[in-house]
Structure 1
């Protein structure tokens, strides 16, 4: 299989290192689960991937079974932004949003109940008032930052600690809780934006986008793990290069998906819709960030315990096609190949391979 076969531009690699992509034509054998540390040799790596695929099959069938009783037991900073723009309306907007915040939280939860009605057992495990309070708390601090003319890039300092605490609070129980928290958060943001005058939305969207990005991505975990690696760690060096390019890669992948699916619509709208564009790029970035987490842990745990469950519970409900997800992963792989050094690409290769197989037709349908 060649880059031309994938419809991607041919990249002239100047180094002499051979990077094999032959695994794209391979189908792993069945096995059982679960691996902790990634084995070094190719044979063991194939076994590990096979085990991950088998685990993914079991998880997928478990989530979509008609009897879910057992689940109860197992359960971009824009530096050119003029933040003084539309200053005359700022006070009125802030006052209105703060007054309506709790109502937005209630409306958002009602949307979640309608969206995930088939997973009522899971929803019953979550304290509705608590998740609404936590979501509103983060938005309240963000609105206050906007009122005080803080730049969106400052939210990592102003709200970062709160986000880490809240994210860990839910992820420590079950990855599905993170999915529901993120959905509540997304709905509240959209509701608030609808209440903002159209000409002010472009400024406010950057605040909400920054906040949502921090909530979705396990960046705190990545930074903590990175601190445990020596400076010459292969995983650390690879992660540093990828993190510097996640947005660029995500934008390229998004454009290629739009070309392949010009008429595609999810529940949120057409791929060219502004909010769908934003959320799509964020999701593509998220997949890359989870690859970084896997590399730093030398484990598939982040994908198995967080990313895969989140996608399985949300994507079908949002009418996101598994074929689209599979094509997205293929494009991510090739963009990693083109944008990373051969040494750094090899660090991520086992994880993107496993991720591709876990979202294959033999698992999701």
Structure 2
């Protein structure tokens, strides 16, 4: 969940902000070496190229994409009768449209001032050089409209509609990228990834919480170490899930489906972020009030078997424990145990009788 936070300029905070920003480095892997054209990339990154990209996504295209994304989201959660009425649908679609309008404004505004002369320079340069502003600036520019967008879901008649937000943004992002060239996708995709994560993953709040710690504190060193490993951690857990549950299927598809893979990896990053937030805040509140309700909604909303949730939780704990030393494990145990107890209580609440995972010790 997105919450407005004030970020102080301490060394600890700046260290984590730097790691947060690295999540949105433009990715060249989607373009093969044979089809790569540095000239085309430079042209797409220029002020004229960015204006052209924005023009492709003019108001009517954005509006249609937001409507289509809402329809896809409703179909996914369609078993819930009248989860959102027509007026709510129009309102939420309107605010989704405003989110993307703001993204495109920022995207155009931060066109390249200094374009690296070679492809090698592209790979070694800071992402800000390629048109993404300082991560805090991007966050604060989008914060007002995202908070209002989030509020439209929170005030819905059905609390489960809050889960629509991330799904709707995910579907919208895919539809938008389909309208663009490969090189436009490389440059705009980090912005779209950012907005999807910003409403679901509390990276910014982790950075803000770091203000309470010295840069050499055990807590901050642990969080810094694990944030850098976050993508690898998510991939390892996901690979084990696919092996353990080869026949698992939800309303969105099989675990090996590309869309499901993407969502699982994003959500595994979300789990990690909530663990580090709880550690730095010295409280389980964020998990109990935000992560658990969202998980319960997803389990019910897209027909995910509880077996999947339990294995997910156990593999998550095992992977985290395997990467820390004895001192770090002692710091983490209260939060990992608290997470498992939290999911066990929710299991009982949903009507499941038998426990299939062991508590971490």
Shorter-chain TM-score: what band?
A: 0.5 to 0.7
| Contact 1:152–1:210 (8 Å) recurs in 2 | no
> Quick check: 2:173–2:192 contact (8 Å CA) kept in 1?
yes
Match of 1:310 among 294, 315, 318: 294
Q: 1:362 aligns with which of 344, 348, 352?
A: 348
Query: Where does the alignment leave 5 or more consecutive residues of structure 2 unmatched?
Result: 1-22, 29-37, 113-127, 353-361
2:97 corresponds to 1:136 = yes
Q: Which residue of 2 aligns with 1:293?
A: 277
* 1:278-357 paired onto structure 2 within 5 Å: 278-357=262-341
User: Over the residues paired in the alignment, what is the CA RMSD in angstroms?
Assistant: 3.6
Per the alignment, residue 159 of structure 1 pairs with 138
1:219 aligned residue (187, 203, 220): 203
* Equivalence for 1:260: 244
Normalising by structure 2, report the TM-score: 0.66
CA contact (8 A) 2:278 2:285 kept: yes
Q: Superposition pairs for residues 95-110 of structure 1, below 5 Å?
A: 95-99=55-59, 100-110=61-71
Give distance in 1, aligned partners of 2:175 and 2:26: 26
Residues 329/153 of structure 1: CA separation in 2 closer, same or farther (3 Å cut): farther
In the superposition, the TM-score normalised over structure 1's length comes to 0.66
1:356 CA drift (Å): 2.2
CA contact (8 A) 1:237 1:344 kept: no
Aligned residues: 290
1:219-278 Cα deviation digits (max 9, x unpaired) = 222222221334455433332332222222111111111222334333333333333222
Q: Which range is displaced more, 227-236 or 102-111?
A: 227-236
Greater shift in the superposed pair: 94-103 or 135-144: 135-144
Distance 1:348 1:167 in 2: 32
3-state SS of 2:302 partner: coil
> Contact conserved, 1:86 with 1:200, CA < 8 A, in 2?
no
Counting only pairs closer than 5 Å after superposition, residues 115-264 of structure 1 correspond to structure 2 as 115-116=76-77, 123=84, 127-144=88-105, 148=111, 151=130, 154=133, 156-157=135-136, 159-169=138-148, 170=150, 178-196=162-180, 204-231=188-215, 233-264=217-248
In structure 2, what is the Cα distance between the partners aligned to 1:198 and 1:261? 34
Distance 1:210 1:352, change over 3 A: same
Q: Which runs of 5+ in 1 are unaligned?
A: 1-75
Question: Deviations 1:303-326 (Å, cap 9, x if unpaired)?
Answer: 111111111112332233321221
